[in-house]
Amino acid sequence: RPFQVAIDGPAASGKSTTAKMVAQRLGFDYIDTGAFYRCVTLAALSKGIDPSKPSQASQISNLAQSSQIGLKTVFSNSSSSLPTTRVFLDKKDVSSDIRTETVSKHVSAVAAIGPVREAVLQKVRDMGATSASTSQESNSGRAGLVMDGRDIGTVVLPNADLKIFLVADSRVRAERRLQELAKSGRKEEGLDLETVQKDLERRDELDRTREASPLRKADDAVELDTSHLTIEGQVDAIVQEVYR
């Protein structure tokens, strides 16, 4: 089977950027599982459903089942430029819409709904299986897959060949998230560092304490603190682990 790399960690720990660049370096496929929960959240919000109301759980679960979610990652030939992932919800490109602070605020509540997780797990595993069967020969001479999320090493790919758990100080993560939002023109007006940091901490708390596959480091995962690492440094550290 293809070589599997599982990358987990709290919000804005740099998982998706790191995972994408690792995939690009190795010629592996990339699957962003957070995008699935973000799509379900966006679908709910655009139907006027308030995800913070527990009474809406079954409606949201139905949406999770019926939504068609697609990912398309475009890799670049130059190792220094970042691959981009387009996200499709029922064929519509929602790549920007799922990254707003409004979606971010509600996504953990949606991801805590057990039947939503089951629906997403199924979709993610299907995508992993399809990508493995179509993946071409890679830079590293073997087929592989990098998947990032909160429960990849513990639930989605419990037998992954390499598991990484990224951590970083919440202030550093908030700074990175705010920069990323500003750079891509998605920063909502009046949004400040304090607010972003509080939201990240609240989201981590929800992700860690929920009943259904909570965020935690798998016993056999390698922990990597990225507070003082550059993206390149993170990527190098993980690629080295793959070749170890």
Of the pair 25, 203, the CB lying nearest ligand C5P is at 203
The minimum distance between CB 226 and ligand C5P, in angstroms, equals 14
Contact stretch for ligand C5P (CB under 6 A) within 20-28, 46-54, 105-113, 191-199: 105-113
Beta bridge partners of 7: 148, 164
Nearer to ligand C5P, 26 or 42 (CB): 42
**Is residue 61 at the binding interface for ligand C5P, with CB under 6 A as the rule?**
no
- Taking CB under 6 A as the criterion, the residue among 178, 203, 224, 238 binding ligand C5P is 203
Q: 């891509």: which residue's tokens?
A: 184
Contact of 56 with 63, CB cutoff 8 Å: no
Is there binding between residue 20 and ligand C5P (CB under 6 A)?
no
- Counting DSSP H helices and E strands in the chain, the numbers are 8, 8
Which span (56-64, 65-73, 145-153, 180-188) binds ligand C5P, by CB under 6 A? 145-153
Q: If you count them, how many residues does the chain have?
A: 244
For residue 169, the number of C-alpha atoms closer than 13 Å in the C-beta half-sphere is 6
Report the largest interatomic distance among the alpha carbons of the chain, rounded to a whole angstrom.
Answer: 50
What CA–CA distance (Å, rounded) separates 155 from 121? 9
Nearer to ligand C5P, 25 or 150 (CB): 150
- Smaller CB distance to ligand C5P: residue 114 or 233? 114
To ligand C5P, the closest distance from the beta carbon of 243 in angstroms equals 26
Q: What is the DSSP letter of 62?
A: H
